[in-house]
Amino acid sequence: MRRRSPRLALVGLVVAASAATGVTAPAAADRPQPVTPRAAGAGDAWSSTQAMERELVAADGSSTEISDPNTGKPWQVTVSADHTRNLRGRERVGITWSGAQPSGGRANDPFGPGGMNQEYPVVVLQCRGTGAEVRPETCWTSSFGQRSQVSKSASDATWTEDLYALASDTEKVTSSKGDVPGADACPTIDRTGLLYTRLVPFVSAKGQVFAACDAKTMPPEAAADAALPANEIAAYTDADGKGSVQFEVRTDVENESLGCSKSVACSIVVIPIVGISCEAGSTADERDLSVVEKSCRRTGQFAPGSSNVTNVGVDQAVSPMLWWAQSNWRNRFVIPVTFGDPPDTCDILDPRAPTGFYGSELLAQAALQWAPAYCLNKSRFKFQHNQMPDQAGFSLMSSGGGAAALVSSEYETEGDPVGYAPTALTGFGIGYIIDRPGNAGEYADLRLNARLLAKLLTQSYTGSSFGAGHPGMEHNPWAIMKDPEFVALNPGLSQEAQEAGAALLSLSNSSDVIRRLTDYIASDKAATDFVRGKPDPWGMRVNPSYRKIKLPRDEWPLLDGYVPKGGTDCKANNPSTYFNDLAAPVSTMRKIAEALLDAWPNVQTRCDTDLSVTPPIYKLGRTERQHYGDRFMLGIVSLGDAQRYGLRTAGLETRPGRYVIPSVDSLTAAVKLARPEGRRGPFEMDMAKLRKAGNAYPGTMVVYTAARLRNLTPEDAGKVAQFIRIATTEGQRAGSGNGELPGGFVPIRDTGATRALYTRAQRVARAIERQKVPAAAPAEAGPATVNPGTAAAAPAGEPVAAAPAAGPAAAAPGAVTMPPTHAVSSEWSGRLLPVLLLLGLVFTVVSAVSRVVQVRSRR
């Protein structure tokens, strides 16, 4: 379906912005494997097995081994990582283990200091260095209490009895770096000889030593108000000896003190806690052992599988507090990891002006890996992906402001004809983070239907008592977790309402993703009936502000103007549109992904009061991060982001009772149903047909490179054609390296179900390069048909066939010849940034004004 593009209005904005900046405007469920887990190439995955046991030495020199009770032998612990190479900041690595001692006293929050009061956990840390270079001093913790024991009594000084510790490490006050800082630097250390202290300082990438004796002597990233939550974790091992975590790695961008980067080697260190091995006792009678000797020999207070809900103290000898003690450190697994090029690689290493491609955020993760393959190869141009709403990117391209647009729909143009080259097969998902009750871990099987999504988008949940007074919604549930329809699909979850459960974190601007999502809702009779005003079977009604809203649509408006009355003094003195504060959409799906990573809803209902001044100051703001064990949050994410950051995505209902998650199979099933429009247009994936098929994922989308077929400069025409050919050949090789296709995408190949996409891309590339399509093209004859073959997308990592030799324009990617290039790819590419910045500001203002007008019009 073709949509009108507001080309003239946008050109007017560009002209106005140009005048302001002095720049001249140019002339006119079934549950298959999740989608495309990144291909683990040779050496990418990692696994190792170690034997480990605990030893308690008696006064006569005999020893007792504490080992696996099932075998009577040492625990055989196997640790694996699903990928280790070319990682990016905040990417999550799947760590699994088996054969470990079951944990007891499960913590409510295993991250950072919250995980210390557990017994027999598996500690997972990020450390600088590899192999023998890794030391406790180069491992990151977000608090000093996780690495140092300061002024402890004898019962909490079990490291001094460690069988494997050096004699110098068992004295009352020590530091792993030698000299203990003086009282001026570390005033909390007892120096009277009564209490014990062991410091494990942190050494930064620049060599600075942080004593770690209190919060003031820790690196800046360990501050209580740090921008990011802790990534180190004391993870739980189940009764069967198995466990797993999604471990988030940080680069020097997120943690400068740790300093991991492409040039600074780092590791993920996994330490199964089996307990401190204790040196010979002072007496044969255990009743006469000293306090610290008895403490060392303790084996835990909590039964395997139990929880420590009240966070009471645990036996230190089997806790994660002493992960650095030699008895534990000697059992470490050191998993070397490498990092990919930072996002600013091309800006730093390639001084050439970039050629901008404008539009879809769906391509962001692929563009991150593709860009260095262009800028670091001097035979290619400097490719730059500039994210913006699809419609704005298309308008910029069609008006001559950019070489190409990246879109997922066809747009009308009143000027030059435009060709659409399929470039990536991906989509969007409903990302979520939901904890099961009773501290039982994350929920992994979320199911949603179109009516539930309609309820969320239309702000039909009341959120709390503040929203319950909304006219026409008095009997609606506060949040989705209390909705009987949701409970029936997802039994066993907590039904305690949270404001975050009343909203789907969405986009504040227009997007082809929003159109696709609302098309899914519009294709469902129960959902559309609800939007038109028919209550659901349990009596829930649509928010009157959204009744009969037109679907599908590119942008989701904030229409509700309800302002609650009463509440706290802060609320009364700071009235706001409550339902808009619940929805609080953001500008990019990347922000939504990060909010899910941090379990930090964007709900803007927190109300703080500053009583230090008269009169008091009241301020609304973002609610706090959710606590581990009580997390519940939903948001729209790209499949590329979901795969990069290890986010779960919900299964969406297709046929009644069937829920489909994004997978290689389900995206391939969707593209088999796609039908092309003309010879150079995009493919249409009819939502009704996708749902009828049952096995096709409704969130499937194709990203197209769209460019003019006339009046594009030969230089830019050649660059766009080169990009299409490279992106659809070597760019479809699954992997984590430069120029490869990351997880979250299904490779487009010249065989099987995606052959029609590949063929169309090559045809459009030739047409863009030649620039000979008539301005008023005649009706296209004989539209191409989608290959009816049933072969699924080729397995990740399979080599991609080279482009067919169809004349000089179809040369192999490595041998693409280009016309001579100038220092600037087009006269606009080097001067467009100020225009885009101002244009973005104008779009923001216009969007805000339109929302205000919509709200006021309903009052």
In the predicted structure, residue 5 carries a pLDDT above the cut 60? no
pLDDT band of residue 620 (cuts 50, 70, 90) is: confident
Q: What is the pLDDT of residue 848?
A: 45
Q: Do 360 and 442 fall into the same domain?
A: no
Q: What is the pLDDT of residue 549?
A: 98
Who has greater pLDDT, 712 or 438? 712
Which pLDDT tens digit goes with each residue over 405-453? 999 999 998 889 999 999 999 999 999 999 999 888 899 999 999 999 9
Average pLDDT of the chain is: 87
In the predicted structure, residue 6 carries a pLDDT above the cut 50? no
Adjacent-strand bridge partners of 358: 386, 405
Which pLDDT tens digit goes with each residue over 624-657? 999 989 999 999 999 999 999 999 999 999 999 9
pTM (two decimals): 0.85
How far apart are alpha carbons 394 and 359 in whole angstroms?
A: 7
Sign of CA dihedral 313, 316, 318, 324: positive
In the predicted structure, residue 790 carries a pLDDT above the cut 70? no
Q: Does the residue 27 lie in any domain?
A: no
In the predicted structure, residue 787 carries a pLDDT above the cut 90? no
Contact by Cβ (8 Å): 278, 163: yes
Q: Does the residue 700 lie in any domain?
A: yes
Q: Do 745 and 703 fall into the same domain?
A: yes
Q: Does the residue 69 lie in any domain?
A: yes
pLDDT-wise least confident of 162-166, 333-337, 355-359, 825-829: 825-829
Q: Do 119 and 254 fall into the same domain?
A: yes
pLDDT band of residue 819 (cuts 50, 70, 90) is: very low
Q: Do 488 and 573 fall into the same domain?
A: yes
Domain end marker among 776, 798, 820: 776
Considering its fold, how many domains does the chain have in total? 4
In the predicted structure, residue 212 carries a pLDDT above the cut 60? yes
Mean pLDDT (whole number) for 289-295: 96
* Percent of the chain with pLDDT strictly greater than 90: 79
pLDDT band of residue 173 (cuts 50, 70, 90) is: very high
- In 303-460, which ranges are continuous DSSP H helix? 326-329, 345-349, 364-375, 390-398, 450-457
pLDDT band of residue 618 (cuts 50, 70, 90) is: confident
Q: Does the residue 641 lie in any domain?
A: no
How many other C-beta atoms can be found within 10 angstroms of the C-beta atom of residue 228?
15
777-802 burial, b if ≥16 CB within 10 A, otherwise e?
Answer: eeeeeeeeebbeeeebbbebbeebeb
Q: Does the residue 207 lie in any domain?
A: no
Q: What is the pLDDT of residue 809?
A: 36
Distances (CA, A) of 321 to 126, 298, 317, 375: 16, 15, 8, 47
How far apart are alpha carbons 613 and 610 in whole angstroms?
A: 7
Q: Does the residue 489 lie in any domain?
A: yes
Retrieve residue 597's tokens: 């990573």
Q: At what angle do helices 390-398 and 7-21 cross, to 10 degrees?
A: 80
Who has greater pLDDT, 32 or 241? 241
Mean pLDDT (whole number) for 357-386: 97
Closest CA to 59 of 282, 278, 279: 282
Q: What is the pLDDT of residue 718?
A: 97
Contact by Cβ (8 Å): 139, 123: no
Q: What is the pLDDT of residue 68?
A: 94
Q: Do 573 and 614 fall into the same domain?
A: yes
* Percent of the chain with pLDDT strictly greater than 70: 85
Q: Does the residue 152 lie in any domain?
A: no
Q: Do 233 and 114 fall into the same domain?
A: yes
pLDDT-wise least confident of 4-18, 316-330, 470-484, 571-585: 4-18
pLDDT-wise least confident of 14-23, 28-37, 190-199: 14-23
Mean pLDDT (whole number) for 378-401: 96
How far apart are alpha carbons 192 and 65 in whole angstroms?
A: 36
Domain end marker among 745, 776, 807: 776
pLDDT band of residue 326 (cuts 50, 70, 90) is: very high
Q: Do 476 and 327 fall into the same domain?
A: no
Q: What is the pLDDT of residue 37?
A: 52
441-451 burial, b if ≥16 CB within 10 A, otherwise e?
Answer: eebeebbbbbb
Q: Do 726 and 614 fall into the same domain?
A: no
Instruction: Provide the strand spans (E) within 350-436.
Output: 355-359, 383-387, 404-407, 410-411, 418-434
pLDDT band of residue 8 (cuts 50, 70, 90) is: very low
Who has greater pLDDT, 837 or 475? 475
Q: Do 618 and 702 fall into the same domain?
A: no
Q: Do 375 and 270 fall into the same domain?
A: no
In the predicted structure, residue 491 carries a pLDDT above the cut 50? yes
| Helix or strand (DSSP H, E) at 580 | helix 578-583
Mean pLDDT (whole number) for 495-509: 97
Task: Write the CATH number for 375.
Answer: 3.40.190.10
pLDDT-wise least confident of 33-42, 57-66, 683-692: 33-42
Q: What is the pLDDT of residue 24?
A: 31
Q: What is the pLDDT of residue 810?
A: 35
How far apart are alpha carbons 600 and 622 in whole angstroms?
A: 9
pLDDT band of residue 824 (cuts 50, 70, 90) is: very low
Map tokens 């500039």 to a residue.
386
Q: Does the residue 809 lie in any domain?
A: no
How many other C-beta atoms can be found within 10 angstroms of the C-beta atom of residue 538?
12
Q: Which residue range is the domain that position 602 belongs to?
A: 436-630
Which pLDDT tens digit goes with each residue over 725-770? 999 999 999 999 999 999 999 999 999 999 999 999 999 999 999 9
Which pLDDT tens digit goes with each residue over 109-155? 999 999 999 999 999 999 999 999 999 999 999 999 999 999 999 99
Q: Do 505 and 625 fall into the same domain?
A: yes
Which pLDDT tens digit goes with each residue over 454-485? 999 999 999 999 999 999 999 999 999 999 99
Q: Do 326 and 250 fall into the same domain?
A: yes
